[in-house]
Amino acid sequence: MQTAPLPPEDTKSEDSAGNKIRVVSRAIDVLTALSNHPDGLSLREIANYVKLPRSTVQRIVETLEEANLVIAASTASGYRLGPTIGLFAASMRPFDLTKIARPILMELAQRTNETINLAVLAHGKAVIVDQIPGTFPIKFIGTLGTSLPLHATASGKALLAALPEDELAHLRPHLQLDGLTRNTLVTWEDLLAELSDIRRDGIAVENEEYLVGFSGIALPLRGPNGELGSLGIPVATERFRAARESLIDILQTCSLPLR
Per-residue pLDDT of the chain (259 residues; tens, 9 = 90+): 444 454 454 444 445 666 778 888 899 999 988 888 888 899 999 999 899 999 999 999 999 999 889 998 865 668 989 888 877 776 665 567 888 888 999 999 999 999 999 999 988 899 999 999 988 887 777 788 889 999 999 999 999 999 999 999 999 998 999 999 999 999 999 999 999 999 999 999 999 999 999 999 999 988 877 889 999 999 999 999 999 999 999 998 875 555 5
State how far the Cα of 65 lies from the Cα of 85, in Å rounded to an integer: 11
Answer for the pair 237, 215: CB distance below 8 angstroms, yes or no. yes
Question: Domain check: are 110 and 197 in the same one?
Answer: yes
Whether residues 153 and 109 share a domain: the answer is yes
- How far, in Å, are 3, 176, 244 from residue 172 at the CA level? 43, 8, 30
27/125 same-domain check = no
How many domains does one find in the chain? 2
Distance CA 140, CA 60 (A): 28
Instruction: Please report which residue ranges of 1-152 form alpha helices under DSSP H.
Output: 11-35, 43-50, 54-66, 83-91, 96-112
- Rounded CA-CA distance 118/132 in Å is 9
Range(s) of the domain holding residue 202: 94-253
The answer to whether the CB of 162 falls within 8 A of the CB of 154 is: no
pTM over 0.85: no
